[in-house]
């Protein structure tokens, strides 16, 4: 079996200056790029997720939703935030492509679970933005998919800083490991016990 790193939604619209920016994202970028490069060298598969919304997505304030227009498919705001860049062999998964539904999770109506299965990846680390929304939802759905899941605490950024403690406590209660990125990369497998949930019958 193999390992994968899921980089959640580090897009222009979710970073400083974007339409729906998380907090302190500029401090994330260089350390994240450095970690991705190191992970590639050890054979970790890199998977990027991107919000890729239609212009009339149900989450937009213009259609009665809670959020400003963001990450419209093909727009500059939907692109990866520089200096992040997809490399040969990396995977890109688009989410939130339908009009209805928030599309928070990288597993929600996407081929991510199938792609990870094809790669024989059963151990995933998750990082990116925003901690209390898409990172949280992706982590929970990864666990529900039967994967060993670690949340990389130094490579996540929230919308609201005071939300982080509650998210980390929730992850621990669910059996999701939380650790710094270097510790995960240095370990051949997580030393933290985790709970395998019952397989869900409903779609994410």
User: Which residues are designated catalytic?
Assistant: 9, 95, 134
Report yes or no: 74 and 5 within 8 Å, Cβ to Cβ: no
- Residue 94, both tokens: 């688009």
Q: Which residues contact 80 (CB under 8 A, 6 or more apart)?
A: 10, 11, 12, 48, 50, 86
d(CA 137, CA 94): 15
* Token pair listed for 124: 């995933």
Helices (H), 42-190: 112-118, 136-144, 164-174, 181-186
Reading the block at residue 83, the tokens are: 């200096």
Compute the distance between CA of residue 155 and CA of residue 9 in angstroms, rounded to an integer.
Answer: 12
End-to-end Cα, the chain, rounded Å: 24
């Amino acid at each position: 079996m193999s390992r994968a790193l899921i980089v959640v939604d580090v897009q222009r619209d979710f970073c400083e200056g974007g339409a729906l920016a998380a907090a302190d994202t500029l401090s994330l970028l260089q350390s994240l790029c450095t970690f991705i490069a190191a992970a590639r060298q050890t054979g970790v598969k890199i998977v990027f997720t991107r919000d890729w919304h239609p212009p009339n997505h149900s989450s937009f304030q213009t259609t009665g939703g809670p959020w400003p227009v963001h990450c419209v498919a093909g727009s500059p705001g939907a692109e990866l935030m520089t200096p992040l860049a997809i490399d040969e062999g990396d995977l890109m998964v688009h989410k939130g492509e339908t009009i209805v539904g928030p599309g928070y999770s990288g597993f929600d109506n996407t081929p991510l679970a199938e792609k990870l299965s094809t790669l024989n990846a059963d151990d995933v680390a998750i990082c990116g933005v925003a901690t209390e929304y898409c990172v949280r939802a992706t982590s929970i759905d990864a666990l529900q998919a039967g994967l060993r899941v670690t949340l990389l605490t130094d490579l996540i950024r929230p919308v609201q800083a005071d939300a982080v403690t509650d998210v980390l406590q929730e992850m621990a209660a669910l059996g999701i490991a939380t650790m710094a990125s270097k510790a995960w990369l240095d370990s051949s497998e997580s030393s933290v016990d985790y709970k395998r949930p019952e397989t869900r019958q409903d779609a994410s």
